[in-house]
Amino acid sequence: MSARIFWDKGITLEFKGESLHLDVQRKPKGAFLLVSHAHGDHTGGLKTKGEGRVYLTRPTLALFKAAAGKEPPMEVKQVRYGERFKAGVFRVEAFNSGHIFGSSGFLVEAGGLAIAYTGDLNFVDSLLTEAAEPVDCDILILEATYGSPSYRFPSRNAVYSRIVKWTVEEAGKGRIPVFHVYPVGKAQEIVCLLNQYTSLQVYVHPKIARINRAHRRFRVKLEAEILEGKPEPGRAVLVYPKGFLGRFEAGRVSPAIATGWAVRYQWTGLEAFPLSSHADFPQLLSYVKASRPKKVYTCYGFSEALASAIRRKLGINAEPLPSRGEFKEL
């Protein structure tokens, strides 16, 4: 008997009448769910009420609770990288995906096949994460956020240097640099960078402060305070969610964003740094090479472009993950 796979707001594997859901946005009743990391576009299923069981790493659970402000309404099993466990008929192992603190991919065994799901993936070290671990597998389900040849990031150290230089220069002009970034992951990387390479006081939004606190429980050193009153120009730097763009006094503030899209796009009146928690196009191809799969299914983002490049450049069978009605027998 072979397993089936398809995309339906997340990934579903079916085998011997049982289903395993990976990062689905709505979890069917009583099902097994694997959650790769704490970003909102991967944790929808964690908010679905009803029976069932979710498997995720300890940091992912802590970051989810800090971001969502609640416990998942289902049975929770915390797993570690390298730990093997059973979810119904599926044998599973979590591995580091390098995306944000605690993020994991999952290696699933079904019908004699090793099926690896990367979740969001980063294949270089950052201040807070180690590069994703390649996993020997038969089938690789690979994210394709930046899976188009036009996305090639500068080295992380080069981007870090640019961020520090800009921040210190802006502060030196008596201005207040403000970073508008994702509260989970990117905010902590920026805080950590500013802590290590500047002597500026870092102020964060209360939501980011909560998520920082969740990181500190795992001994991640992050020094930042919640802003009370007005920040002092020249001595302060702010790290706030994107929704706060334009909400500060325009004259003294120098706003910035940090996103992989900055290699292709520019924003008026905004400094944009190409700092991403995702692999770029060359990294995605390197990851496939290192994992040596027989078949790749791409999902999220540039699925077609990445699948085509994997076929052409690596000679490996690849295609975007089919939707529910067009499931694949593995």
Q: Which residues of this chain interact with Zn ion, rule CB under 5 A? A: 39, 120
36/291 with CB nearer Zn ion: 36
Query: Which tokens sit at 305?
Result: 């472009």
Q: Give the CA radius of gyration of the chain.
A: 20
Q: Tell me the closest approach of the beta carbon of residue 170 to Zn ion, in angstroms.
A: 28
120/133 with CB nearer Zn ion: 120
Residue 288 and residue 296 in contact, taking contact as beta carbons nearer than 8 Å: yes
* Helix or strand holding residue 329 (H, E): strand 328-329
Name the E strands within 80-200: 84-87, 90-96, 104-110, 113-117, 139-144, 176-180
Q: Give one word for 69, left, alpha or beta, with left for phi > 0 and alpha for psi -120 to 50.
A: left
Residue 222 and residue 191 in contact, taking contact as beta carbons nearer than 8 Å: yes
Q: Tell me the closest approach of the beta carbon of residue 42 to Zn ion, in angstroms.
A: 6
Q: Tell me the closest approach of the beta carbon of residue 226 to Zn ion, in angstroms.
A: 25
Which residue of the chain is nearest Zn ion when measured via CB? Answer: 39
User: Torsion angle of alpha carbons 252, 253, 254, 258, nearest 10°?
Assistant: 170
Residue 35 and residue 54 in contact, taking contact as beta carbons nearer than 8 Å: yes
133/143 with CB nearer Zn ion: 143
60/212 with CB nearer Zn ion: 60
183/231 with CB nearer Zn ion: 183
Q: Tell me the closest approach of the beta carbon of residue 38 to Zn ion, in angstroms.
A: 8
How do strand 90-96 and strand 11-15 relate by DSSP bridges? unpaired
Q: Tell me the closest approach of the beta carbon of residue 41 to Zn ion, in angstroms.
A: 7
Q: Tell me the closest approach of the beta carbon of residue 67 to Zn ion, in angstroms.
A: 12
Type of residue found at 68: A
120/271 with CB nearer Zn ion: 120
The 3-state DSSP class for residue 318 equals: strand
